[in-house]
Structure formats: C-alpha cells, structure tokens
Chain A
Amino acid sequence: MEERKSKGMKLRFFTPILVLVCIVLVCTFYYAYWKSKTEIIDLGGTMFKNINSNMIGFMEAMNEEVKAGNLTLEQAQETVKTYVLGPMRENGVRDIAGSRMSMNSKTFAWAVKTQGDERGVLAMHPSLEGKNAWNVQTQGKYTIQDTWANRQIADRIVEDVWQNPGKPVETFLAYQSYFGPWDWMVGIGGSKEDLYTERLEEIEVMFIAIGILFVIGGGLFVIYVNRLRGTLGRSIRMLTESAEQIIGGAQEVAAASQSLAEDASEQAGAIQQTSSSLEEMSSMTRQNADNAKQANHLMKAGKTSIQSANDSMNQLTASMDDIVKSSEETFKIIKTIDEIAFQTNLLALNAAVEAARAGEAGAGFAVVADEVRNLAMRAGDAARNTAGLIEITVKKIKDGGELVGQTNSVFAEVTQSSDKISDLIGEIAAASDEQAQGIEQVNTSVAEMDKVTQKNAANAQQSASASQQMRGQAEKMKDFVEDLTHLVGKKEQKRTPMPERSRPQRAQKRSSKSKPAPPPYKPREQKAEKRAPAPARREVSPNEIIPLDDDDFKDF
C-alpha cells in the first residue's frame, strides 16, 4: 500500500520535477562548461596579447638601442630572446626556466621570419631556434606557412596545431603580431589543453559531485517526502476530522448562541418586568412611607388632642373637687339649718308644754307652738332632703371624680400608647424610606442587569452569526482538505456524513419546542446592531482564511 502510494506520488509529483531538475542540471553543466572554456580561451588570448604587446614594446626599445648604435642587431635580438625564453644552452635549447617572462615548455613565445630566404626560419623558439620550419607539417597542417608566418593574420588570436620535439601534438592558442623592423612574426601561445583542461575537469568533478549529491539528496528527499506524506496524510485526516468537528461545533455554538440569545431576550423581558414591578414596589413603598409620615403627623395631632383632653380632664377634676368642697360647705350650712330647725322644734315643744300647763288660756298658744313646730319640722325635713341630695350629689361627684381619675389614667396610657405608636410609625416611615432607597438601588442594579442582558443577547446573536460563518468556512476548509487529499494522492475517502442533518434538526426541534419562534432579539441600542454588521451575508473567500494556492503545492 505504502509502496503503491509512494510510486504514485513519484509518478504524479516527483518524476517531472526530477527530470526537470536533471535537464536543468545538465544544461547548466554544459553551459558552464562551454562558458568556462570560452572565457578561459578569451582570457588566455587576452593574456597572450598583453604579453605579446609587452614583447613588441621590448623589441621596439631594443631596436631603438640598435638605431642609436648602442647595440648591434644581434645583441638586441639576443637580449630579447634571453629575456623572453632564457639563456641559450650548448645543445641549442634555451633554458626556459631562466625566462624573465615566466615561460615554460608548454607556454612560450616564438618569432618567425616571413620574408626572403629566411622565410619560415624560427628566429626565436625555446628549442628550434634558427631552424626553418616552413614546411613542417603537423597533422596535415602547415602551421608555419598558414599561421605563424602569415602576416595576414597578425594582431589576433589564432589557433594552430604544433608539436615541439619530444612532445605530443598539441593545439595551440596564440596571439601573434608582426614586428616589421626585424621581420619577426612574434607569437606567444600555449597548449589550449593546458589552459583549460584543469579547470574544465574541476567543473566536471564539481558537476559529477553535484549530480551524486542530487541523486542522494533526491533519494533522501523521496524518503523524507514519503514520511512527510504519511504525516501529511494523517494531518489531512485530522484536518478533515477537525473541520467536521469545527462544523459540528460551530453548529452547536450557533444553536447554543441562538438559544442563549433567546434566553437572554427572555431574561431581558423578565428583567424589564422585574424592573417595572420594582418600580411599582418602590412607588408603593414611598406611598407607605408618606402614609406612615401622615399617620405620624396625625398621631402627633392626636397626642396633642389627648394632651388637651387630659388637661380638660384635670380641670374637670379640679372643678369637681371645688364642687365637692362647695357641697360640703352647703352641707354644713344645711346642718346648721337642721340644727336650728331642731332647736326650733324643741322650742315649739316646750311652748306646747307651757301651753298645756296654761290650760285653757294656753290653747291658742298651743296652736301657734304646733305651727312653729310644723314649720321647724318642714325646715328640718327640707334641710334633711337637701342634705341627702347634696350627699348624693357629692357621692356622684366623687364617683365622677374616680371615673375622671380612671379616664385620666386611661388617657395617660393612651398617651403612652400613642407615643409608642408614634415612635413605631416614625420607625416605619424611616424603614419605608430606607426600603424605598434600597428598592431604588435594586432598581438601578436591575437596570444595569438589563443592559448587561441586552448586551449578552446581542453578543449571543453575534456569536451565533459568527459561528454560522465559522461553519461555512469550516466547510470550505473541508473542501480544500479534500483537494489536498487528491493532490497528495490519497484515495478519496468517503465523505463522513455531515452532522448537518441531525444537529440542526435537533436545534430546530429545541428552538421550536422552546417557544413559537420568538422573534430574533433586537437590541434596543443601535450600537449593538452597528457592532454586528450582518457578517453572515458577507461571502468570505476561503483563500482569505486558508491561503493555500496551487503554487504552494507546486513548491513540493
């Protein structure tokens, strides 16, 4: 399974890449090879040209010396040769190690005569000096005739084939120019191979090394990619699961938020009801307090009334006492009257006695005495009656006094009670006031609670829409993950059935059960609406959320 997968992956993915990389590498190699070669040749040519011009300059200087007569031509030429190629040894070969211009056996300078009899004579050469090489043929080419002694191709870089004695045939790169005064075709050059072989070899080695490294790296990369693929597969699976979970979660969150919003709006309604109830309660409590205050005032008024009544009662008691005193005085007077009546009665009786003693003569007197006695008796009776009446009056007054006393004490009790009642009512008033204040505070708290609940409702609404949005995005993410799965080469997994069907239905049921579709909570404050600018409607490109482009995969 793993094999097949990796093969598939290679085929799908890495083979073109590898081929492309190989082509690029080879092209690069060839280009680098060719470029290096060209560059080296150019460089060598330039170098040779420079040396050549130096040599020409030197030769001109020597020629000037000859013209000045300081040196002979031979001397001058010898100086040049020695300078360039080193001193001549006995075997006719110049010691090139003694060259002041750092010549060697492979890179060296020469001069060929081009005119007259000496045409083709090598005027200067490390080993063939003085020899005519006009007809020397190397690999079928007349190098001297065609190139070295050819004035037509002076002052340019040339290529030729040359073989030094005892050395293999080599392709020479050289720069040659013509020094007229001495009829020298001066050239300087070196084995082309020597110039660039080493470097090209280096390049080759380098490229081989790169190739090997590339192969190794490719292998490692494939292994790594396989591993990565496994990890990626797992990641994708997990990502898919996560996306599904996110979808489910988002739905749940949406449902929960919705119900939360509904609950919050219900709560807000309840809180408003509570608030209005509290306001009613507050007004009632205030009324209570007012009533208690009024009752207190009334109680105070009643207290003063009771006080005045008490005073009146006291006055009444005093009056009654006075009456009793007066009655006693009257009683005394009546007693005196009674006494007088009694004495009169006695006198009348004595008179009667005397009249009786007088016999017939006292008869008239006896009548008078009897009348006097009758009067005395009446007076006495009247006095007695009056006394009785006064006694009764006094008794009644005393009873009344007792009653007044009792009433007084009752009034005192009433006063005390009213004092207590007044205090209690005052306390009630104060308590009602405090209660009203407390209710006021509770009311403000409830108002704050209301605000908070409304905010909550708005937030829940917002979060519901956000979770909806999230769900959409998760769906999109899931699609992307599927695309990714395709790309990675996994067989398309069966789409796990979305919880879309079950959950929203449940949510629907729940919402339908909870209440007959309460209208979506509209926060009273406009701010809340502004804060939640209907995010559900805005189509969000998934790229905004998951910026995965095809380029990203190509980077693989």
Chain B
Amino acid sequence: MKRMTETMDQAIKAMGEREGKYLTFTLAGEEYGIGILKIKEIIGMMPITPVPRTPQFVKGVINLRGKVIPVIDLRLRFGLEAEEYTDRTCIIVVEIPGESGNVMIGIVVDTVSEVLNIKADDIEDSPAFGSRLETDYILGMAKMEGGVKILLDIDRILKSEEINLLESTS
C-alpha cells in the first residue's frame, strides 16, 4: 500500500504532472493550495472534542457522520499566531496514508476559497532557502495573478510518528 502510494506519487512527480485541480484556502492572509484528490470533504466548523496529552496543534476530534476524525490547526502547525474561529473557518478533511492504511484528518483553515485548475507551467519548485530548512512539505509555488500560492504536499505536513499518533487517537 505504501509502496503503491509512493509509486503513485513518484508517477505524478515523474509525470511532472503537478498540474491539476487544487483547492485553495487562506491562512493568515496567505493563499495555500491542496491537491483536490487528497481532499475527502469540506465541512464548516463544528464542535471539536479536545483530546488530552496531544500536541498543541491537535485541536481534538470531531464526529463526522459517525466517524471520529482528528483535527489539527494548520496555523498552529505552521507556527502562526492562533486565531479565534469564525463562521468562515472551515475544516478540510483530507486522506493521508498512514501505517495502517489511509488516515482521515481534519485541517482547520481560515477560509476555503475555490477550486483552481493550475497548469504545470505556472508551478515552480520551492526555492532553496538552505539545506537546513524543511521545505519538503511544499509541493511547489503556483504563480497566479497578483501573487503566489503555496501548494502544500499534505502528506508531508505531518511526520510519520505524528500520523501514527493521530491514527491512535482516532
């Protein structure tokens, strides 16, 4: 399974086909994008049950139609300032590969914007800030009119142990 995913990614990468549909969202005024195929569902904010003894960015769990899904706050994960949730705050439910199959995780973002079709020509690799910085969670930079959208590799946002932890919580 793992291999299969890796192969798929590699295939995508190999294809150089980062081209495709992305769901864009805002986080602290910046636009980010997530590959649409990673996304399971987009839901509005709903009551989150906090889970003790978890990292700070883990807000807790939600009950999504009978399934308990861990929710993380991307702001906190990115080390941004925490913000009060509004009626525009959304949870993007993504499916990421875990040790025991795919794991569904809710990601709290400020707002959900739109579904964009981004061409390969508009996507560039993330610039090399230095070997020390971890930039592997950035899939690429989408050059758009009036700015740059950071395309996130949602699989790499969380480390494997973190994913494991989340798996265990759910």
Contacts and interface: CB of A to CB of B under 8 A. Distances in A.
B88 to A, nearest CB: 7
Contacts of A346: 42-44, 90, 112
A349 B43 contact: no
Main secondary structure of the interface of B (DSSP, over half): strand
Nearest to B44: A346
The size class of the interface chain B forms with chain A is 10 to 19
B87 A357 contact: no
A457 B135 CA distance: 130
Contacts of A366: 115
A353 B114 CA distance: 10
A16 to B, nearest CB: 162
B112 A356 contact: no
A343 interface: yes
B159 to A, nearest CB: 26
B61 interface: no
A59 interface: no
A356 B44 contact: no
A357 B37 contact: yes
Given A356-B36, A356-B37, A349 B88 contact: no
Interface string A330-368: 000000000100110110011011001100000000100
Nearest to B38: A353
Contacts of A357: 36-37
Interface in A492-538: none
- A interface secondary structure, majority: helix
Interface in B1-50: 21, 23, 36-37, 39-44
B44 A373 contact: no
Nearest to B88: A342
Nearest to A335: B87
A366 B116 CA distance: 11
A352 B88 contact: no
B41 A350 contact: yes
B37 A350 contact: no
Contacts of A356: 21, 36-37, 115
Nearest to A369: B115
B87 A349 contact: no
Nearest to A373: B114
Contact of B44 (A342, A353, A369): A342
A370 interface: yes
Contacts of B44: 342-343, 346
Contacts of A373: 114-115
Contacts of B21: 352, 356
A374 to B, nearest CB: 9
Nearest to A339: B87
B37 A349 contact: no
B107 to A, nearest CB: 14
Interface string B85-122: 00110100000000000000000000010110000000
A342 B115 CA distance: 15
Contacts, number: 40
Given A346-B112, A370-B115, A373-B114, A353 B41 contact: yes
Q: Say which size band chain A's interface belongs to.
A: 10 to 19
Contact of A352 (B40, B87, B115): B115
Nearest to A377: B114
A91 B63 CA distance: 226
A354 to B, nearest CB: 9
Contacts of B90: 346
B81 to A, nearest CB: 24
A217 B41 CA distance: 180
A89 B44 CA distance: 217
A131 B87 CA distance: 215
Contacts of A342: 44, 87-88
Contact of A345 (B36, B40, B87, B112): B112
A178 B112 CA distance: 214
Contacts of B115: 349, 352-353, 356, 366, 369-370, 373
Interface in B42-82: 42-44
Interface string A378-421: 00000000000000000000000000000000000000000000
Interface in A86-120: none
A373 B116 CA distance: 12
Contacts of B88: 342
B87 A353 contact: no
Contact of B23 (A339, A343, A353, A370): A353
A352 B87 CA distance: 21
Which of A342, A343, A349 counts the most B-chain CB atoms under 10 A from its CB?
A349
B50 to A, nearest CB: 24
A345 B36 CA distance: 16
B86 to A, nearest CB: 11
A253 to B, nearest CB: 118
Q: Which of B36, B43, B112 has the most CB of A within 10 A?
A: B36
B43 A352 contact: no
Contacts of B36: 352-353, 356-357
A357 B41 CA distance: 11
B39 A353 contact: yes
B13 to A, nearest CB: 19
A366 B114 CA distance: 12
B149 to A, nearest CB: 16
A421 to B, nearest CB: 58
A350 B92 CA distance: 10
Interface string A299-335: 0000000000000000000000000000000000000
A370 B23 CA distance: 12
Q: Which of A343, A345, A366 gathers the greatest number of chain B CB atoms within 10 Å?
A: A345
14 contacts: A339-B87, A342-B88, A343-B44, A345-B112, A346-B90, A349-B42, A349-B114, A349-B115, A350-B42, A352-B23, A352-B115, A353-B36, A357-B37, A373-B114
Task: Name the 10 nearest CB pairs between A and B, nearest first.
Answer: A352-B115, A356-B36, A349-B42, A353-B39, A356-B21, A350-B42, A346-B42, A353-B36, A349-B112, A350-B41
Interface of B: 21, 23, 36-37, 39-44, 87-88, 90, 112, 114-115
Given A342-B88, A349-B115, A352-B115, 17 more contacts: A342-B44, A345-B112, A346-B42, A346-B43, A346-B90, A349-B23, A349-B112, A350-B41, A352-B23, A353-B23, A353-B39, A353-B41, A353-B115, A357-B36, A357-B37, A369-B115, A373-B115
